[in-house]
Amino acid sequence: MIGITRLFIIFGCLYGLVVTAAEPRPKVGLVLSGGGARGIAHVGVIKALHEKNIPVDYIAGTSMGAIVGGLYAIGMAPDDLEWAVKSVDWDKALNPGSPRVLKNYRQKQEEKDYFTELEIGISKEGAKSNVGLVGDHRVMLELQRLVGNFNVQNFDDFPIPFRAVATDLNAGVPYVMDHGDLAMAMRASMAVPLVFGPVKHQDRYLVDGGILNNLPVDVVKAMGADIVIAVNISSPLGQVDDKSSVISVTYQSIDVALVQNTKESEKWADIVIKPALKNILPNMFNRADDMITDGYLATYAESEQLASLVLSDYDYQSYLETRNFLPREIPSRIQFVRFEGNNRTSSARLNEHASAIIDKEFQAGLVQDFVDQVVAAEPDIQNITYKVVEEKNRRGIELKVQEKRWGPDYLRFGLKVADDFDSNTRISVLVRHQRFNINSKGGHWTNDLSIGSVLAWESELYQPLDFSNEYFATFNVEAIKDTKRLYQGLDAVGEYDHKRYGMGINVGHNPTRNSELRAGLWFKDESVSPVINDLSFKTAVDDTVGLKINYGIDTLEKTIAPRYGYDLQTELGIFDRVQYVSFDGFQRFPFFESSAAHVRFKFDFTDLVDDGEYFKAYGGVDDFAGYPTDSLLGLNMFIMEAGWFTDLDQIILPILGAPDLSVKAHWGNVWQRHINIENMLYGLSAGISFDIQNNVLYLGSGYSRDGDLRFYLRLGTGF
């Protein structure tokens, strides 16, 4: 009897072991919230889960959570995932304009007066503008580089089934993406309103999923998860009081809805991980290491709750073996390139660009650089995406072009405010009209208007003579009236209108992307009309016809406060009544991390002129600081500057940001016909400037020998 009892006990134990072994483990779903750069903390969470042998069977993410989650879902190991998010130059990717190094000389000169990227389009339907402040082609290219090219379109067929969450703008509901182009799904999920435009996906217009479902716990449960680990990296609410600005209140109003839907989602999660991320804002991509560490530590802080999900080494290795990295479709060489979607931009011009990469070894970086160059060179194009395709046993890339929806005519606006604190405030509003691609070679028409202290209309019809834009021809017209004060010494004694008219035909050559040479036949006429007091003097340029030659080269790293590069402009005029040569050039030499030395030479020399005439007006913060603006009239001029520029990054002011400090010394003079270098003017100037959304605010002072101590204010563009 005892033997039978023992037999039943042994049999019962063995049966229990078999049943236990056969019982499936719970399916684990990982939910990754949005939160801008703070989402990099998700990488630390995934690394910790991997170390703990905790499997992930489903992933759902929003915004940055969709990017990190999507990359993990297609088979990236945690260490590769960390490399991937760190490899993105987020500042460059989120920059609204093309890098200056990719722009040609003409584009660089145009942006000096119109720094702002705000562009209004004019078409038959009326005025329109871009729907986002940031051009998204570079972000999309980075996502495509990280994701790679593969044929799997169903997100359930990924090594880990995945969902990206966006917001359907027209339906007003969350939209869950479970198939299609993974990079495009990521892009849609992170389309923060105002910053990025919406993404069109299956006739839906999608924006950031965080608006309605920042922590999509419900989505991963619907996928089949038994246990949900939710990672919340969204920013906590700030504090609003009666001293808060309208901007602060607006941001807080948006964040309230996001925080509220996130709190509701947390209630449905089994385990919630909240990385500390102290003093880390959604735009601080430079704090990647700190965020990954915070995510890692926050996961280990929940070790007790996670303990039941830990697998043995053998079982976890078996799980990992089921997560094969998706195979990529990568051609060894780019055998052909084709474009789709271009209407205004001619295929011949695009194919001319494409010749630079055909038969090259395929590299994602090469394609990225190529697309960057095309978008920079073709102003009608908003963005370009690509995919690897096969055609007649050849592999190449297909580039989908999206042209600007707000074309084909564009308006930009600028502002110039100059004040010397001597009751002579000069204000001009600038308007630029441009029409591109008026023919297959990319001819375009530009009109510049200035209204205010300077009344001006300048028009240029620019026609490339080949598809590569190496040679070109232009037709130019200009009519300018500039109201100025007349000075005797440092005292204003009157006011006059300086009127300039000109018309010319040029042919030109672009030797490099950074330089331009043009020469043409011009008619020029200038005159002076008294406004206050009876003034009588003549200009050196008076109803004259002749040859005008211009050469320029610009390698500056950026338009505002560059640290390195040079900008040189030379003009030679050979007219029947005047001859002249003008030069203005400066170079910046970088020192340390945020400083630069500055050297500048500028001169004007004339011939076939008479005493009593004048060629140009000088003086002010740009030439001889310490003298009133345009107070020095002359036929010849020379000035040399040496100075120092530095970023004061340690000082951050609200709205204004960090200032740049400049200190310059100058030496030179202005003469009539006879040049005398024995009586030169020298002096110093110093000031601080702010780059406010690509507009300049400058406050400074200057002093010159025989001049005075003066203060200057500049606000707007073109300084």
Average pLDDT over residues 514-527: 97
Confidence band for 476, pLDDT divided at 50, 70 and 90: very high
**Per-residue pLDDT for 145 more than 60?**
yes
What element of type H or E holds 174?
A: strand 173-177
What pLDDT is stored for residue 211 in this prediction?
86
Question: For all residues of the chain together, what is the average pLDDT?
Answer: 88
Give 203: exposed, middle or buried? Use CB within 10 Å, 0-12, 13-18, 19+. Answer: exposed
Q: What burial letters (b/e) apply to 42-63, b meaning 16+ CB within 10 Å?
A: bbbbbbbbbebbbbbbbbbbbb
* Cβ–Cβ under 8 Å, residues 383 and 140: yes
In order of 496, 527, 582, 611, the CA distances from 538 in angstroms are: 12, 7, 20, 10
Least confident span in 9-18, 23-32, 305-314, 582-591:
9-18
pLDDT of residue 391: 86
* pLDDT value of position 577: 92
Is the pLDDT at 379 greater than 60? The verdict is: yes
What pLDDT is stored for residue 16 in this prediction? 47
Q: Tens digit of pLDDT for each residue in 600-657?
A: 999 999 999 988 888 999 999 888 998 999 999 999 999 999 999 999 888 877 777 8
Q: How many CB atoms lie within 10 A of CB 677?
A: 9
Residue 257 predicted with pLDDT over 80: no
Cα distances (Å, whole numbers) of residue 125 to 120, 121, 129, 409, 481: 13, 10, 12, 12, 35
pLDDT at 9: 52
Pairwise CA distance, residues 269 & 266, whole Å: 5
Q: How far apart are the first and last CA of the chain?
A: 105
Confidence of residue 554 (pLDDT cuts 50, 70, 90): very high
Task: State the SS3 of 503-565.
Answer: EEEEEEECCCCCEEEEEEEEEEEEEEEEEECCCCCEECCCCEEEEEEEEEEECCCCCCCCCCE
What is d(CA 555, CA 558) in angstroms, rounded to the nearest whole number? Answer: 9
What burial class does residue 392 get, using C-beta atoms within 10 Å of its C-beta: 0-12 exposed, 13-18 middle, 19+ buried?
exposed
d(CA 65, CA 59): 10
Average pLDDT of the residues in 192-214: 83
List pLDDT tens digits, range 490-516: 888 899 999 999 999 999 999 999 999
Question: pLDDT tier at 1 (50, 70, 90 boundaries)?
Answer: very low
For residue 242, what pLDDT is reported? Answer: 64
pLDDT digit string, tens, across residues 669-701: 999 988 888 889 999 999 999 887 667 889 999
Q: Which amino acid, residue 526?
A: E
Rounded CA gap, 99 and 187, in Å? 21
Q: Confidence band (pLDDT; 50, 70, 90) for 21?
A: very low
Closest CA to 316 of 43, 45, 54, 79: 54
> What pLDDT is stored for residue 57 in this prediction?
95
What region does 625 belong to: left with phi over 0, alpha with psi -120 to 50, or beta? Answer: beta
Confidence of residue 5 (pLDDT cuts 50, 70, 90): low
Q: Provide the pLDDT for residue 15.
A: 45
Q: What is the pLDDT of residue 309?
A: 94
Mean pLDDT score, 196-217: 86
Do the Cβ atoms of 718 and 699 come closer than 8 Å?
no
| pLDDT on residue 14 | 47
pLDDT of residue 124: 78
Beta-bridge partner residues of 475: 461, 505
Which of the listed ranges 87-91, 311-315, 318-322, 423-427 does the model predict with the highest average pLDDT? 311-315
Handedness of CA 692, 694, 695, 696 (dihedral sign): positive
Helix (H, G, I), strand (E, B) or coil at 587: strand
Segment 336-364 shows an average pLDDT of 92
Lowest average pLDDT, out of 194-203, 236-245, 535-544, goes to 236-245
Catalytic residues: 63, 208
Residue 136, pLDDT score: 67
What average pLDDT does the segment 98-108 reach?
89
**Which pLDDT score, from 0 to 100, does residue 254 have?**
64
Out of 24-28, 127-131, 536-540, 590-594, which region has the weakest mean confidence (pLDDT)? 127-131
* Rounded Cα gap, residues 228 and 266, in angstroms: 10
Least confident of 44-48, 346-350, 579-583, 693-697: 693-697
Residue 46 reports pLDDT greater than 50 = yes
Over pLDDT 70: what percentage of the chain?
91
Q: For residue 260, name the pLDDT band (cuts at 50, 70, 90).
A: confident
Domains detected in the chain: 28-96+133-322 (3.40.1090.10), 333-403 (3.10.20.310), 409-715 (2.40.160.50)
**Sign of CA pseudo-dihedral 535, 539, 544, 545:** negative
Q: Which two tokens stand for residue 659?
A: 């200032």
Instruction: Cite the DSSP H helix spans in 167-308.
Output: 182-189, 210-213, 217-223, 246-266, 288-300, 303-306
